[in-house]
């Protein structure tokens, strides 16, 4: 596996692969990799001749009060996992390699969708995500890029950016990978102490209950969200940021949960903010 720390190295390797006629897949990550990330790499390896994984904690998507400094990192472990899953090149740039000191150009969707759900508590988050993913697309120029359904709003935002800016890149959404007890895998789960780890199960419990209700034919958002909210509120360590049913593309609230509707939540367990979701009728 090639470890590339500079944009130049990435471009040289990609150019060589293109000369050899290979297709290229990209998996953007912030590192501290787990089986959720690995599932994206597996899908990329299955779909593409060569796979690039970026491992970069992107400062522009963190607000000053967020966890940029404490975000977990373990590049040695990441390389081991990536090698085991057949990644061909990991792009591991420094902040200075990605952003010039006076970098001031951003990619931002001027619409309601990035302001909904996570955008309410994280107003600059999706601008940072779009900017870094856009840069990664320009550096790697992949045929396909792979994103997790776990970050459902991010996936919708990236699809919109790709459409609006005519990136000729296919965006592949991949299912949520969970721990055995249901908790969605996340690098941030490492922040949880033993009691919080138990308490965090309310997210997946609420998701499974909501999914069950919708599958049983309940379509009234209010009813489904009320039951999900009650499950989370019963846990003293949990504080709800949002539990919402929204249109899968616009991210605007809906009254009826029909196929394609995203039912998503963000919940603080102690100081750790976790997210989870399901799509009615399953992802398209
Ligand atoms: P992150 O490193 O958290 O920025 O995540 C990088 C990519 O991995 C994103 O596309 C995430 O949606 C995806 N991802 C993270 N956790 C999971 C999970 N539990 N299941 C599936 N995909 C995931």
- Tens-digit pLDDT profile for residues 1-25: 999 999 999 999 999 999 999 999 9
Q: Is the pLDDT of residue 67 over 90?
A: yes
CB 247 within 8 A of CB 254: yes
Mean pLDDT, rounded, for 101-108: 98
DSSP 26-83: EEEE-SS--HHHHHHHHHHHHH-SEEEEEE---GGGS-TTSSTTT----HHHHHHHHH
Residue 205 corresponds to which tokens in the numbers above?
Answer: 């419990």
Residue 264: count other Cβ atoms within 10 Å of its Cβ: 23
37 has catalytic annotation = yes
- What's the pLDDT score for residue 284? 76
Residue 39 alpha carbon to ligand 1 centre in Å = 9
**Burial per residue of 151-175, b for 16 or more beta-carbon CB atoms within 10 angstroms, e otherwise:** bbbbbbbbebbbeeeebebebbbbe
Residues with CB under 6 A from ligand 1: 29-30, 36-37, 39-40, 147-148, 150-151, 174, 176-177, 184-187
85 with 46: CB under 8 angstroms? no
Q: Using N-to-C axis directions, what is the helix angle for 7-19 and 125-140, rounded to 10°?
A: 50
The alpha carbon of 150 and the centre of ligand 1 are apart by a number of angstroms equal to: 6
What tokens does 66 get?
């967020």
Length reported for the chain: 284
User: How do residues 186-223 score in pLDDT, each as one tens digit?
Assistant: 999 999 999 999 999 999 999 999 999 999 999 999 99
Residue 217: how many CB atoms within 10 A of its CB?
6
Lowest mean pLDDT among 63-67, 249-253, 280-284: 280-284
User: How far apart are the CA of 177 and the centre of ligand 1, in A?
Assistant: 9
Nearest CA to ligand 1 atom 10: 147
Q: How far, in Å, is the centroid of ligand 1 from the Cα of 41?
A: 11
Q: Are strands 262-269 and 272-279 parallel, antiparallel or unpaired?
A: antiparallel
pTM of the model: 0.98
Tokens of 13: 């390797």
CA distance 85 to 78: 11
Name the catalytic one among 37, 77, 85, 125: 37
Strand partners, 157: none
Rounded-to-integer distance, Cα 130 and Cα 124, Å: 10
């Amino acid at each position: 596996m090639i470890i590339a720390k500079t944009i130049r190295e990435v471009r040289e390797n990609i150019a060589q692969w293109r000369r050899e006629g290979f297709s290229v897949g990209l998996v953007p990550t912030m590192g501290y990799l787990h089986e959720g990330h690995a599932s994206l790499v597996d899908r990329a390896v299955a779909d593409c001749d060569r796979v690039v994984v970026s491992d970069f904690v992107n400062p522009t998507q963190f607000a000053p009060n967020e966890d940029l400094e404490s975000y977990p990192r373990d590049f040695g472990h990441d390389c081991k996992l990536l090698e085991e899953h057949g990644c061909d090149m990991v792009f591991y740039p420094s902040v200075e390699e990605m952003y010039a000191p006076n970098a001031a150009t951003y990619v931002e969707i001027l619409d309601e969708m990035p302001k909904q759900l996570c955008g309410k508590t994280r107003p600059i988050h999706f601008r940072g995500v779009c900017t870094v993913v856009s840069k990664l697309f320009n550096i790697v120029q992949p045929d396909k890029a792979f994103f997790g359904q776990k970050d459902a709003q991010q996936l919708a935002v990236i699809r919109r950016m790709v459409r609006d800016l005519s990136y000729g890149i296919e965006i592949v959404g991949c299912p949520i990978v969970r721990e055995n007890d249901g908790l969605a895998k996340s690098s941030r789960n490492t922040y949880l102490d033993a009691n919080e780890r138990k308490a965090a199960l309310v997210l997946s419990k609420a998701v499974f209950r909501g999914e069950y209700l919708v599958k049983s034919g309940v379509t009234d958002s209010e009813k489904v969200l009320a039951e999900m909210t009650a499950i989370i509120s019963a846990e003293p360590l949990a504080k709800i940021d949002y539990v919402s049913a929204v249109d899968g593309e616009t991210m605007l609230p809906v009254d009826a949960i029909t196929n394609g509707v995203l039912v998503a939540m963000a919940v603080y367990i102690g100081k750790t903010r976790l997210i989870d979701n399901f799509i009615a009728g399953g992802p398209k």
